């Protein structure tokens, strides 16, 4: 698989390229937004690791240009650890996931694998979603945990279906509220339904395996390895 690394720090770019190459990826690098935009729209990549703070053209602008041009490649953005607003802006602009700096390379590789699995799942459009002990039949609208059917309210099912459709990807609070509730709604409603879903699909709702919180950003339905 071919990955584009967009990072202006030469040392970090080299470190990323080395780790990705060792993991079996073919790697190209770009050090500024102009070069990244050109490569993203003229070459074919399986994934992109994109820093947001770039010279010439910032990463968010590059990402928006790609999405407007219907470049559907999975994008993993690099953000400052405490900059939750950067994470939200990146996801809302079309990123599939984010990694906060400084990061462990193992985490970046794991999130990259999840983004690739999500894209393959979208392309396959499987009628039955499975992740660990959770299965969702999107045709029959049947949810099972450990083989036992779980009864959900219509709103709970709509929320779970949205998370399944984007499994492995971070969804922001704003996106979920718009898609499920149809507009600006108090985020407390979302928290109530997330809590209710966890009570029904998680072995231990206090330590969720499936429906995880991305602090300050939103939620993710985790894909099992």
Structure-block tokens of residue 162: 């949205």
Q: How confident is the model at residue 163 (pLDDT cuts 50, 70, 90)?
A: very high
Structure-block tokens of residue 166: 């984007």
Query: What pLDDT digit, counting tens, does each position of 57-98 carry?
Result: 999 999 999 999 988 899 999 987 667 888 888 888 889 899
Q: How is the chain split among helix, strand and coil, in percent rounded to 5?
A: 45, 25, 35
Assign 3-class secondary structure to 201-221: HCCCCCCCCCEEEECCCEEEE
C-alpha 124: how far from its chain's center? 17
Q: What is the predicted pLDDT for the residue at 126?
A: 62
Structure-block tokens of residue 124: 């396959």
Q: What's the average model confidence in pLDDT over 167-179?
A: 90
Q: What's the average model confidence in pLDDT over 93-110?
A: 90
168 burial type by CB count under 10 A (0-12 exposed, 13-18 middle, 19+ buried): buried
Q: What is the predicted pLDDT for the residue at 149?
A: 94
Q: How confident is the model at residue 121 (pLDDT cuts 50, 70, 90)?
A: low
126-221: CATH topology: Arc Repressor Mutant, subunit A (1.10.10)
Q: How many percent of the chain have pLDDT more than 70?
A: 95
139 burial type by CB count under 10 A (0-12 exposed, 13-18 middle, 19+ buried): exposed
C-alpha 86: how far from its chain's center? 14
* Domain coordinates in residue numbering, the chain: 2-122, 126-221
**pLDDT greater than 70 at residue 46:** yes
Q: What is the predicted pLDDT for the residue at 125?
A: 53
Q: What is the predicted pLDDT for the residue at 81?
A: 65
Q: What's the average model confidence in pLDDT over 19-24?
A: 93
Q: Quick check: pTM over 0.85?
A: no
The answer, yes or no, to whether the previous bond of 208 is cis (omega within 30 of 0) is no
**CATH number for domain 2-122, candidates 3.40.50.2300, 3.90.400.10, 3.40.50.300, 3.40.50.2000:** 3.40.50.2300
Hey, is 143 helix, strand or coil? strand
Q: What is the predicted pLDDT for the residue at 225?
A: 59
C-alpha 99: how far from its chain's center? 10
**pLDDT greater than 70 at residue 123:** no
**pLDDT greater than 70 at residue 115:** yes
φ/ψ region of 112 (left if φ > 0, alpha if ψ in -120 to 50, else beta) reads: alpha
**pLDDT greater than 80 at residue 113:** yes
């Amino acid at each position: 698989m071919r990955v584009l690394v967009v990072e202006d720090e030469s040392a970090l770019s080299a470190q990323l390229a080395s780790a990705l190459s060792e993991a079996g990826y073919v790697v190209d690098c770009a050090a500024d937004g102009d070069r990244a935009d050109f490569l993203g729209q003229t070459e074919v990549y399986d994934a992109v690791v994109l820093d947001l703070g770039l010279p010439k053209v910032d990463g968010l602008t590059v990402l928006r240009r790609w999405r407007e041009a219907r470049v559907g490649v999975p994008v993993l953005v690099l953000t400052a650890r405490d900059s939750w607003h950067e994470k939200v802006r990146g996801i809302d602009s079309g990123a599939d996931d984010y990694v906060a700096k400084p990061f462990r390379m193992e985490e970046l590789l794991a999130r990259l694998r999840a983004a690739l699995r999500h894209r393959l799942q979208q392309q396959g459009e499987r009628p039955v979603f499975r992740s660990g002990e959770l299965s969702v039949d999107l045709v029959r609208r049947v949810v099972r945990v450990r083989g036992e059917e779980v009864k959900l309210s219509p709103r709970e099912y709509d929320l779970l279906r949205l998370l399944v459709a984007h499994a492995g990807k971070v969804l922001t609070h704003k996106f979920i509220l718009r898609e499920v509730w149809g507009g600006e709604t108090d985020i407390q409603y979302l928290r109530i339904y997330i809590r209710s879903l966890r009570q029904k699909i998680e072995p231990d709702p206090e330590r969720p395996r499936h429906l995880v919180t991305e602090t300050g950003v939103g939620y993710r339905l985790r894909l099992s390895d």
